Amino acid sequence: MTGSAPPRLLRPRALGPGDLVVIAALSGPLPPAYEPNVERTVAVLERMGFRVRRAPLLEAGRRHWWSAATPAEIAGELNALLRDPEVRAIVASDGGQTALGYLDLIDVEAIRADPKPILGYSDISLLHLVLHARTGLVGFHADMAVPGFGGHWRSAPAARQAELEALYARLLTGTEAIGALPASPSWECWRPGRVEGPLIGGLINRIVLAQATPFALPLERFDGAVLFWEEMGGLASYVWSYLHVMRHSGILDRIAGMVVGVPREIGGLEPGASPTLREIVLDVLGDRDIPVLGNVDFGHAGPNLPMPVGTRVGLDARQRTLALLEPAVGPHEPTKGAPRRTT
């Protein structure tokens, strides 16, 4: 894609009442112990006004090595969902380790013909980044069935659950900008400043992996962007290394701001250990004077604030605010092509 014009932002069509949302195994398997998480996710999505169906590969206990199925099988099911005009959104059941195996098998023409919201984080970050690079699709770095809607949401206070449910429903059905995301006291200003730009990011190790594939975002797509990332597991030194990979590749010289999610289970970041995540970030950034907002509640620490990849955001690190300045979905329109199938 080097040297080619970037794709226009491709917004999925807004969902309407009664539209079909499918929960699909896009990476890891569904252990029997997490079947209740899927059932609770169905209930959350139905409260938002949608019909919900499970994709066939989402079967408790089914697995192929560390995956729900082979990469070709997962790609086949995903492509069928992308081509089915009745399906209006796809929610990943979980993350995992499989998306790299089928990035080259995805029917991007089906996405261009009928863009749909795909929700998920962790390994699903690869899908968001690659599909945004190839088609301009807005990816929904957002909660999924395990452990998100069906786990983290359940453990959150009732008021927070209601706030998130209303936020997700607006994001999927509304064609007006959301504005400021609901902040929490955990948000920290690591470097002050105020910028606006497209939101690009995901799980930090998946950002680095995506950039190593033929489907990487061209460097110019990071010009003026607000880079968001989080990490789960591993070591603090790994995060430092990933950031240096982005420095060497030129990404850090192009972005306008950075938003860092709440870290989870990262060795070397325990209380009293040195350095802190803030120190690691500022060390790698050096004299790059860009705003950095830290400890924002998205990612594996959950519940997730949705981060629609590609859409324009406003970041004010000193005021600890992050605002979605444009809608993530386009007008609700009748789907062209094959007639809708009934369930």
**pTM over cut 0.75:** yes
Q: Which of 67, 128, 230, 231 is catalytic?
A: 230
The H or E element containing residue 321 is strand 321-324
274 is catalytic: no
What would the CATH number be for the domain defined by 20-173?
3.40.50.10740
**Which pLDDT score is estimated for 6?**
62
**Which pLDDT score is estimated for 7?**
72
Q: Which of 128, 141, 152, 300 is catalytic?
A: 300
What would the CATH number be for the domain defined by 179-324?
3.50.30.60
**Which pLDDT score is estimated for 334?**
59
**Which pLDDT score is estimated for 5?**
60
Task: Report yes or no: 121 and 13 within 8 Å, Cβ to Cβ.
Answer: no
**CA 143/CA 150 separation, integer angstroms:** 9
In the chain, where are the structural domains located?
20-173, 179-324
Q: Which of 122, 132, 141, 231 is catalytic?
A: 122
**Which pLDDT score is estimated for 340?**
38
User: How many residues make up the chain in this entry?
Assistant: 343
300 is catalytic: yes
Taking Cα atoms as reference points, which of 13, 15, 37 lies closest to residue 25?
37
**Which pLDDT score is estimated for 274?**
78
**Which pLDDT score is estimated for 140?**
98
Which long-range contacts does 64-69 make (Cβ < 8 Å, 24+ apart)?
Answer: 66/28, 66/29, 66/96, 66/97, 66/98, 67/27, 67/28, 67/29, 67/96, 67/97, 67/98, 67/101, 68/25, 68/26, 68/27, 68/28, 68/29, 68/30, 68/93, 68/96, 68/98, 69/25
**Which pLDDT score is estimated for 339?**
37
Mean pLDDT by 10 residues, the chain (343 residues): 65 98 98 96 97 98 97 98 98 97 98 98 98 98 94 91 97 98 96 98 98 97 98 95 98 98 92 88 98 96 94 98 98 56 32
In degrees and rounded to multiples of 5, residue 64 shows phi and psi of -135, 105
Q: Which residues pair with 308 in a beta bridge?
A: 140
64 is catalytic: no
**Which pLDDT score is estimated for 310?**
98
